[in-house]
Amino acid sequence: MDTALDLTHPKYYLNRELSVLEFNSRVLAQTLDEQVPLLERLNYLCISCSNLDEFYEVRVSSLLQMRKMNPTMLSADGLTASEQLEHISRKVHALVDEQYHVLNQVLIPLLKSENIRFLRRNEWNQTQKDWLAKFFEQELMPILTPVGLDSAHPFPRILNKSLNFILTLTGKDAFGRNSNHAVLQAPRSLPRIIQLPQECANPGEHNFVFLSSIIHGFVDELFQGMRVKGCHQFRVTRNTDFFVDEEAIDDLLRAVEGELMMRNYGDEVRLEIDSNCPNETVDFLMTRFGLSADRLFLVDGPVNLSRIQEIYDLIDRPELKFPLFNPVSPPQLARNKSMFDLIRKQDILLHHPYESFTPFVDFLRQAAADPDVLAIKQTLYRTGPDSPVVDALVKAARAGKEVTVIIELRARFDEGANIKLASRLQDAAVHVVYGVVGYKTHAKMCLVLRREGKVLCNYAHLGTGNYHRKTARLYTDYGLFSANKELGDDVRRIFVQLTSLGQVSKLNKLLQSPFTLHKGILAKIEREIQHAQKGRPARIVIKVNAVTEEEAIRALYRASQAGVEVKLIVRGMCCLKPGIPGVSENIEVRSIVGRFLEHHRVYTFLNDGNPEVFLSSADLMHRNMFRRVEVCFPVENKKLQERILDNLHGYLCDNSQAWILNNEGNYARVQHEGEAIYQVQTELLRSFA
């Protein structure tokens, strides 16, 4: 191992933000995969658009603030904020051009061949035009509010990511004055795509018209006596990453509520405009929003591609979608037996979405109805609307159980939903706290305390994903049920810490951030290094969503230098450079992009033939290690260990949905020439069928 190398040097790190964009490129590549059903390809296009929205709302906004506050600060790869923004602009402009090329030149023609059409204004026949005119008059016109711009009608406040139109007018207004510009905002309550009725289409056709086309086609009706010379759609993206000074407030919930009210009006960070818009009108909007050219996007189509996703549920064409599947329950859980009896016999592992989320809901429901259950404690980060988990917790509280819930109010973009959730739980006499000041509570834990004879027993559930019924069908995650006393005691101690804010005595089995998780992971990497140096087999396989924490990256570099085989399965961001001679030639980084969003976090260490397998809520990121409350828990049952290791082996064998990272930061799709196609997600679906 060459210890003379400076592993902190910027040349050994990839840029975090550009790595995010590389992931979005991999998502967009799914739109061109002919093995993917057509409507799913359209979905991937929409996902790539919404990913870019969030990237600008959060990451670009953060860089803009950094450029203003600390312009000389360098990222791990040695770039200033300004330099990162320059790279981002080039990459995103190319990405957006590709998005609209895919829409216009690939997907729309393919959809048309399947009798699914997006009709432009010049394609409307008279029957369709008459129906759309009536629709505009009855459904749109009454709720549209055009604003003619003058000193008494200032430029309206533009909501984040809303659909708007800039209009150029000629002629006299009602008061005899020359007209110039007007702005029309499309209310968010309106669908962005309108499906024409069957009487306006041939049998078997699905005809759709963009809301923007309808407004453009009939906008003259809103300006009687004047002529609309130009009508062009635009959209503004704003900074949505609000800040709450938790040390200076008395009530976190009220502070978050206050910030939410302003989220739609943060600083402008991106402007998208119809590419046919005249230069003088573009300049007018750019000046109005104070944006530079690098954050202007002229687009050949609707300014918000993600809203096209609305058609997915409107078209009943199963052959154009992924085949339906029903998550299964493990056989021992499918017989309506007591969950407590089953968990007491052995640990139970659920693998979502292949296995159902229902057993966890059943676990809570049984706890709510069981007279021997005294208390339930749970963390909630994201739950979704109409959550059966919340229903069960409310029922338990009303049944007299002691129910404590740790709600993270600052779960990004779910803050409003979590505020409502907190109010509902409090109304049911649930003890609700909002985590810890300065640290997001991201751990996924549930603990049921049950009286069995003279003993108070712990039944724990620990997971890698949120307690969210919908995402449990879309994200890959693990959930572990256990009645292990030491594990349960650890979970109980962490809950006490989160409510009392007292210190936790040494944990038996769990690693917890911000205290022991980072040190624990580094220690296990170091142990593999020592095994390799002694000539023993040494191997690390980690599957996470992101690898950006620099000290962990340096530890993995040292492991590679010592001869440890390192396999990283990283869905999104990765700042580690694999394949550098003398530094990381023993590290492989791969990303899986498929039907399901890869979400579980798994840390495995060969440990000289005595493998250790850990599951966690935490990625290898600085925020997860030091600014969040996370847990990492061992899977000690040998059969469950083998099952997880077999799953990881499948990910490493995927030759269809896998992408390999090189040391320049680029990903290449794994080729399967001469080999049978192996898709790990497809094989897992088959194994649970």
Q: How many CA atoms lie within 13 A of 127 on its CB side?
A: 8
Dihedral pair phi/psi, residue 37, rounded to 5°? -55, 150
**Cα separation of 524 and 509, whole Å?**
14
If DSSP codes are grouped into helix, strand and coil, which group holds residue 324?
coil
**Cα separation of 646 and 650, whole Å?**
6
* Catalytic residue chosen out of the listed positions 442, 468, 518, 531: 442
Beta strands in 536-643 (DSSP E): 539-544, 565-570, 587-592, 597-598, 601-605, 612-616, 628-634
115 dihedral zone (left: phi>0; alpha: psi -120 to 50; beta): left
Q: Which of 127, 106, 90, 296 is nearest to 209 (CA)?
A: 127
DSSP class of residue 508?
Answer: S
**Cα separation of 177 and 548, whole Å?**
59
CA-CA distances (angstroms) from residue 113 to 107, 122, 186, 206? 10, 19, 31, 11
**Cβ 385 vs Cβ 511: under 8 Å:** no
**Cα separation of 182 and 231, whole Å?**
9
Q: How many CA atoms lie within 13 A of 630 on its CB side?
A: 25
**Cβ 620 vs Cβ 549: under 8 Å:** yes
Burial class (CB in 10 A: 0-12, 13-18, 19+), 377: buried
**Cα separation of 155 and 147, whole Å?**
8
Active site residue 442: yes
- Apex CA 544: angle with CA 488 and CA 463, to 5°? 25
Kind and range of the H or E element at 208? strand 206-210
Kind and range of the H or E element at 457? strand 455-463
Kind and range of the H or E element at 526? helix 517-533
**Cα separation of 664 and 642, whole Å?**
34
**Cβ 88 vs Cβ 18: under 8 Å:** yes
CA-CA distances (angstroms) from residue 173 to 149, 184, 431? 11, 16, 60
Tokens of 175: 């008061």
Kindly list the catalytic residues.
Answer: 442
